[in-house]
Structure formats: C-alpha cells, structure tokens
Amino acid sequence: MSRRRTIAIAVTVAGALAFVWLINATALWEFALRALFPTLRDVLMPRDTLATFVLQHLALVGTSSVLTIAVGVPLGIWVTRRSGAEFRSLVVAGTDLGQTFPPVAVLALAMPVLGFGFWPTIMALFIYGLFPVVSATIAGIEAVPRSVVEAGVGMGMSSSQVLMRAELPLASRVIVSGIRTSVAINIGTATVGAAIGTGGLGVPIIGGLAVQNMAYVLEGAIPAALLAVLADSILAQVESAVTVAEG
Amino acid sequence: MSDHSLQTRFDRVALVGAIVTLAGATALPFVELRPNRLVPGTVHSLADAGVWMFATWGLVALALLSAVAPSAKARSAASSASAYGLVAVLAWALGEAASTLLVGQTSVARVSIGSGAWVILLGAAVIGFAGGEERKRYLLRRLGPPVLVLAAVVSAFVWGGLDDISLAQEFEVRAESFWQLLAGHLALAGAGVALGAVFGVPLGLWATRDRKVRGVVLGVTGIIQTVPSLALLGLLILPLSALGNAVPFLRDLGVRGIGAAPGLVALTMYALLPIVRNTYVGLAEVDPAVVDAGRGMGMSSRQLLMRVELPLALPLIMEGLRTASVLLIGITTLTVFAGARNLGILIFEGLGQFAPDLILLGALPVIVLAVVVDVALSALAKRLTPEGVRE
C-alpha cells in the first residue's frame, strides 16, 4: 500500500471518529448555536437528540443501500449472462430512464402507491438506488475485454469461475463507483424523508425552516453535509482499494 | 438447430410482462372511491371498468401468445400491439370505472388511481420490450402507434370519463396556480442552469490551463454535489440573509435568507459540477494535432479557442448542461422550503395533507419535465456536434 493511500485512509478514519464525537457533543452545539442566535429560546430541537437523528438517517440509508446492493449487483450480473440476456435491453432502458427521474419525485410518488412511513420510504430509496448500481454493474462487466474472458475459458475455468476471478474483480471499481453514487443520492433523498415523517436529519432542517428557527436548520444541515461527505470518502477509499487489488 | 430453439423457447420478457400486468389487474386495487379528497375510501377492482376489463384480459392473452409465437415477426407484432393496446385500454378503463363509481355520489367524492393501475402500466412497458433488440430500433422510428395511443388517451379524457379521475379534478381546481407554479419551476431551474453555465464554462476552461486550479475546482464542485440539497439550502439561508442585511442594495435585488435567492444560489452550485467537468473533459480531449494545425495557420490563442477548441468541445459541454438541467428540475422542488414558489409546493403540500392527488399533480409534471428536457437536450447536443466529428 502506498504512503498516499495510508494517509488517505488515516484521514478518513479520523474524520469518522471526529464525526461520531461531534454528533454527541451536545454541549458544544448548544454553546455555539446560542452564541450565533442569542435571541432564540431553543437552539436544539427538543424532539430528539442529534445522535438520534443521525442514527435514524443511517437506518434509512443503510437499510435501503444494503437492499440496493443485494438486488442490484446480481441483477446487473444476470443480464450480462446468457440466461438473462433477453432482459438486458429492458433493464438498460429502465435504469437509463429511471436515472432521469428526480429522486424527490420518486419518493413523493411512492407515497400514494406504497403508503406513508418508514418502509415505503425504504422501498422508494431502494428502487431509486437500484438505477445507478445496476447500470454501473452492467457497464463494468461489459467493459472487461473479451480477450480476458476468453483467456479464462481457455485456461479451463468454468463460466462462474470466469465471473468470480476475472470479470467481477475487473469490474469492481466501476461497480463501487455506482454504489457510491447510489449512497450519495440516498443520503440526500433521505433528508427529504422527514417531510413524510421518517425521521432523520431532515427533521431539524424542515422543522427549523417551518418555525423560522435557523439554529434547528444548522443542527440538521451541518451534520447532514458532513455525513454525506464522510460516506462518500469512505466509499472512495473502498473504490481505490478494489482498484489496487486488480493491479 | 437454431430454428428449433427459436420454436421451443418462448419469450420470457413477454411472459414476465404478462405476469406483472395480471398481478396489477387482479391482486391490487384498480381505483379507490373516496367520499372526499382527503379521507381514505373503498378500493375497487378492474371489474368496475366493465367491458374494458375483458379488453385487458384479451391483451394479456395476446402478450402470452406473443411469447410462444412461431416467428420473430409475429412475436414483435403481437407484443407491440399488446403493450400499446394496454396503455389505451387502461385510460378508458380508468375513465369507465370513475364514471360508474361516481354515479349517485356527492360532488366532492373522488375516484383516484390505485396501485394496480400503475402496475398494469409497468407491465405494459415490460411487454413493450419483448421481442429483441433489432425490433426496438425499427419500432422507435415509427410514430404511428404512439400517436394512436396518445389519441386514445386524449379521447378517453373527452368522451371516456377519464376527466372524472381525481387527478384531473385536482388539476381543474388548481389549473391557474398550476401553470404559475410550472412557470416558476422552469424559470428557477432555467436560471440555475444559466448561471451554472456562466460560472462553470470559464471555470472548466481555467482548469484546462492550470493543473493546480483543476484539482481545486473539480474537488470543490465534487464536494458540493455530495452535500444533500436540503442541507445546502439550509446552510445558505444564514449567510445570504446576513449579506442582504449588511448591503441594502443587494437586499433590494432580492438577496435574502428566504425566497428565491437561497434556492437560486444552491441550484447554481449544483449545476457547476456537471458543467465544469464536461467543459474540462471536452477541452482536454481536443486532439492536440488539430490545435497545432490551427496554430500553424497563424491563429491567435483566442481564435484557437473560439474557432477550434470550443466548437469541438461543444457536444460534451451540452451534455453537461443536460445533466445539470435534469438534476436541477428535481432539486428545484426543494427550494419551496426556503420560500420559493414552484411545483414543489404541490408535492410537499400534498405530503403534508396526505393528499395523494396533490402529490401526483406536483410529482408527475416534474418527472415528465425531466424526461422531456433530457430527450430534447441530448437531441440538441447531437445536432451541435460538428459534422466532421460525428460518429
């Protein structure tokens, strides 16, 4: 592992630890927001602690992302196999079209169709998250040179061995970048989930905007921004880790 | 051998589409009758669509037949007819169900579209993809069938009672404000893309000229893109209201914490990444030999940029504008939390009141808008590609 990579990982881990500390440092938030907004009666949303909002947010994003990866990657692999080739054009067209749909509109549409609450929101995040993951999986596998696949077959590998030992390792960087996009969108869209009562970091933002309490807004917006950047850099580390593995 | 396999193997895409359609038509509520627009009501099946139920069954059967049809030509004809037919029949079935169920109800009663109807539509789309790749290309060049389907849907509005569906009624009630909100939506998203281009294209150009700038510009716009839009909006309100308070001239221009200003600033910031990145990549990918040739002809670096580099990079820059536009059409809905007025109002009012029709009235146009802009701008990008480099 190169020196640069070691430093990058160390910075990310330090960032994650600092984030955990920050969302639990209630006294610090109280002090800083009081200093910024001396006239406000409450500067922290009384409904829940900041750590709880973060955990609710992580539950939404984590559950939907795990489902997305568990379904999206196999689906993408399947349509590049002979058994699923018939469905390839349907899946590619569907994911291309799906990615032009605004995530907020999809989340909103899930409500009349699926109902309100935690699981309908998870479903909406899961479905929307599929688009980048499936299309990245297909793109990644199809970018593997034919010669590599043929060399594998020539060495006597079975088609599942070719998939596991050649195609997937070579496609993993692209697949992880699709997952990264999907998670980033999910973190952002989950913020809007607060408008339909799913909790999370959107609660102080939307609640604060509704009652004109800018301290609440910052209580939600700052951790949401940090969480998104942190998750993205963790996945960026994963992305470069799988890239190194291929070399 | 290949003939044999063609005969025995059936088209599984058509089969899946037929199963999805069947599930939507039988297992899920087709429409919901509610005493008024806010309270839940009773669910009704496709049976209330009268004769259109049988038409639906017939078209599902046609899709199943297409799966086992002997020739590729028969398969594609049958599955296309089934898919297009299902969309047209769905419009009439909804209209029929609405007008039947509303007989004897008060004027505030509503019939809204149930999940089954949406699933039938999804099934029709899947059936439309049956029959293989080659047929798709052929089909896309044909305007006839889609126009016929559109005519069927429009006539269902005029004669088939589709205008009794609650979504249409919700629209009628709010027609005037709807158009204003739509205009507000387009104006704000359009202004965001325009400002994004005004700042983004020069930044992308600068990035090609200076390695250090490139790292900073691409890094910062990348981070902005990662930050959730609602959070960015929240973070902008405070500095903007401080700025407006400190500089009265700016406040008169509309720079305030609440209103269109934070929305527009946030939208501009989101538009930057795709525009900057594509401008940079587009310019960086211009063949150095072409630039050398221009220089050899005695062009100044300004002439080189305007006559050679930018025209060659234009398709990719347009691609960036397209990505930014699609992105912004969605994010614009969130600016209503900072006081802007656009289609987002309908969505979030609808979510707040648990009024599904209001949500649909806001969300469907946003989706249609995003898809239309996507298609239109990619067509434009294709046309702007200089002839010599077209693929």
Of A87, A106, A108, the CB nearest to B13: A87
Report pLDDT for A212. 84
Q: Provide the pLDDT confidence category of residue A15 given band limits of 50, 70 and 90.
A: very high
Quickly state the pLDDT bin for B136 (edges 50, 70, 90).
low
Token digits of residue B140: 């896309």
Identify the structural domains of chain B with CATH numbers, from first to last: 2-166 (no CATH), 175-390 (1.10.3720.10)
Confidence band for B135, pLDDT divided at 50, 70 and 90: low
**pLDDT at residue B134, rounded to an integer:** 52
Q: What is the pLDDT of residue B133?
A: 55
pLDDT of residue B140: 59
Place of tokens 């169920």: B101
Length of chain B: 391
pLDDT score of B328 more than 80 = yes
Task: Tell whether A97 is within 8 A of chain B (Cβ).
Answer: yes
Rounded to the nearest integer, the mean pLDDT of chain A is 90
CA distances from B258 to A212, A219, B184 (A): 10, 18, 16
CATH of the domain at A12: 1.10.3720.10
Q: Which domain holds residue A195?
A: 3-246
Q: What would you measure as the largest C-alpha separation in chain B, in angstroms? A: 83
- CA B212 to each of CA A32, A108, B208, B220: distance values in angstroms, whole numbers, following the listed order: 35, 42, 10, 12
Closest Cα in chain A, distance from residue B26 (Å): 16
Coil vs helix vs strand at B390: coil
Residues of A in contact with B245 (CB under 8 A): none
Give the chain A residue whose CA is nearest to the CA of B351: A196
Say which of B125, B330, B352 has its CB closest to residue A105: B330
Nearest to A176 by CA among A237, A88, A126, A244: A237
Residue A10: Cβ-neighbour burial (10 angstroms; 0-12, 13-18, 19+): exposed
Q: Which residue of B has its CA nearest to A97?
A: B371
End-to-end Cα spacing for chain B: 37
The CA distance from A245 to B15, in Å, is 41
**Tens digits of residue pLDDT in B8-28:** 467 888 899 999 999 989 988
Can you state the angle between helices A50-80 and A88-100, rounded to 10 degrees? 150
Mean pLDDT along residues B226-244: 86
Please determine, for residue B51, whether its predicted confidence score (pLDDT) is greater than 70: yes
Least confident of A61-65, A145-149, B185-189: A145-149
Average pLDDT over residues B240-246: 78
Are A221 and B348 within 8 A, CB to CB? Answer: no
Mean pLDDT of A227-237: 94
What's the pLDDT tens digit per position in A18-54?
999 999 999 999 999 999 888 888 888 888 899 999 9
- Looking at chain A, the whole-number percentage of residues with pLDDT higher than 70 is 98
B6 has a pLDDT exceeding 50: no
Has residue A119 got a pLDDT over 50?
yes
Of B388 and A82, more confident: A82
- Identify whether the C-beta of residue B251 lies closer than 8 Å to the C-beta of residue B244: yes
Integer Cα distance of B13 and B18 in angstroms? 9
**pLDDT confidence of residue A82:** 87
Q: CA–CA separation, B110 vs B167, rounded Å?
A: 9
- pLDDT level of residue B162 (50, 70, 90 thresholds): confident
Q: How many domains does chain A have?
A: 1
pLDDT class of B2 with cuts at 50, 70, 90: very low
pLDDT at B246 over 80: no
Summarize pLDDT for A86-95 with one digit per residue, the tens.
Answer: 888 889 888 9
| AA identity, residue B330 | G
Percent with pLDDT over 90 in chain A: 64
- Contact assignment for A109 to B360 by CB distance below 8 Å: yes
Q: What is the pLDDT of residue A79?
A: 94
Contacts of B362 (CB under 8 A, 6+ apart): A108, B181, B333, B343, B344, B345, B346, B347, B348, B349, B350
Contact B235 A225 (CB under 8 A): yes
Q: Which of A61, A50, A51 is nearest to A187 (CA)?
A: A61
B130: which DSSP letter?
T
Instruction: Using pLDDT thresholds of 50, 70 and 90, give the confidence band for residue B132.
Output: low
Give the DSSP H or E segment for A105: helix A103-114
Using the predicted structure, report yes or no on whether residue B5 has a pLDDT greater than 60.
no
